[in-house]
Chain A
Amino acid sequence: MEDRNLAMNQMSLAVAHVSKQFDRRWVFREISFSLSGGESIAITGKNGSGKSTLVKILCGVLSATTGNVRLSLGGKELTGGQVRHHIGLVSPYLQLYDEFSGAENLDLLSRIRAGGDTHVPRTEEVLKLVGLWERRRDYVRTYSSGMKQRLKYAFALLHRPFALLLDEPTSNLDAEGISIVKGVIEEQKRSGILIVATNNDDEASWCSQRVHLGG
């Protein structure tokens, strides 16, 4: 754990002059900020201001029209494949496989990401953390929207990411679910990087910095 905290403190995310254009419309322009281990930032803005688009760019699943995003560990920039092992995402756009159970989803996706390592103990740990251990063998299609949101947290935390990105972090969650999320956030803020995209002022206040999109 100490090694992990040490590594996390050497972690940094630099976003430099990032802009995104869809067709001829600029969604946002010239977004720049940087974070290092233990720091957090809230991305705010009205509907359509590009919060989710920026989150996708930060995760590497969408290209920026201009600018760049650099995730570094100990001053060394991580490549695309390495970034995948250090980023966790919870987002309304992210879906897990309905035809598999909660535990099967985590095991299958963990195998794909890690290239064969099963991480069975970690699957149990994260499913217990989000309160889905008892329902681990049920197909995801039988889960409620709140349970699916909890499973997304389990998926995001499965590989102990250095950078955790939460887009609309508490959507569909009940009071117990929100309490779990707050615990996850406090843990992440201790040493990792936390990015929250939200319209909610309470959720934005969880972060020490803020970037507002849309003027």
Chain B
Amino acid sequence: MSSLRSTVAVIRKDVQSELRTRYALNALLMFVVTAVATILFALRSDQPTSTVLAGMYWVVVFFTAMSSLSRIFVSEEERGTTMTLQLVASPAVVYFGKLVFNTLLTLSMTVAVTILYTLVFSTFFVIQTVSIFVITVLLGSLGFASAATIIAAIVAKANTRGTLYPVLSFPILIVLLITVMNATAKALDGEALSAALGDFQVLTGYFLAMTAGSYLLFDYVWKD
């Protein structure tokens, strides 16, 4: 129970810190707007297929995540507060606190991208099966956050942070990206919920495996 309260305190600190500094939020919003505007200009009046739409949706989410999710550890490292956290919290408390914060950030990002897509591409971005889309976004965000958190912790210790983060993330996230794109295309095509159950199993398995692996690895990454 004490660890849970400490984890909540870490999340609270990060949320308050983010609201004051806007380290990740500004990068996130600017990237979403820029990427969606670029896609809008590129498409003009063309009618993309649901597979292309789903791909473009998650490409925006992927690159937005790359520009903002690493901040959770990089900002601690750059400000020299890593040791302060090490002195007051166990690695598990820090990891799960950061994971929840990154999940909240990823969910905010997917909500922002969805709203922008719905407004800008109102004629062809129509979600036919809402349940598939909502579950995909939830599970996809959990998977994204889980992978992004441990990669951010590793990258924060490196000198070449900016380039290393997407390079390390892409091979780790490729399975997740393919699955969420498939499931989103099914939601846009209006397929039944049962058609996406396999995708949901992959996404759940990905999240659980990534979180368990990260939990075991984090102690070594965080301490030295």
User: Chain A residues in contact with chain B, CB under 8 A?
Assistant: 56, 59-63, 80-81, 84, 87, 89, 91, 93-100, 108-109, 111-116, 155
Contacts and interface: CB of A to CB of B under 8 A. Distances in A.
Interface string B1-37: 1111110111011001100110000000000000000
Interface residues of B, number: 29
Given A87-B87, A97-B81, 13 more contacts: A56-B83, A59-B87, A63-B223, A94-B87, A95-B83, A99-B21, A112-B85, A112-B93, A113-B88, A115-B1, A115-B2, A115-B3, A116-B6
B5 A116 contact: yes
Contact of A116 (B2, B83, B90): B2
B1 A61 contact: no
Contact of A112 (B10, B16, B80): B10
Nearest to B20: A99
B79 interface: yes
Interface of B: 1-6, 8-10, 12-13, 16-17, 20-21, 79-81, 83-90, 93, 223-224
A94 B83 contact: yes
A86 B16 CA distance: 27
B20 A108 contact: no
A61 B12 CA distance: 23
A214 to B, nearest CB: 22
Contact of B90 (A81, A96, A108, A109): A81
Nearest to B89: A112
Contacts of B83: 56, 61, 91, 93-95
27 contacts: A61-B83, A61-B223, A80-B90, A89-B87, A91-B83, A93-B80, A95-B79, A96-B84, A97-B13, A97-B79, A98-B79, A99-B21, A100-B16, A100-B17, A108-B9, A108-B13, A109-B84, A109-B88, A111-B12, A112-B9, A113-B87, A113-B88, A113-B89, A114-B2, A115-B4, A115-B6, A116-B6
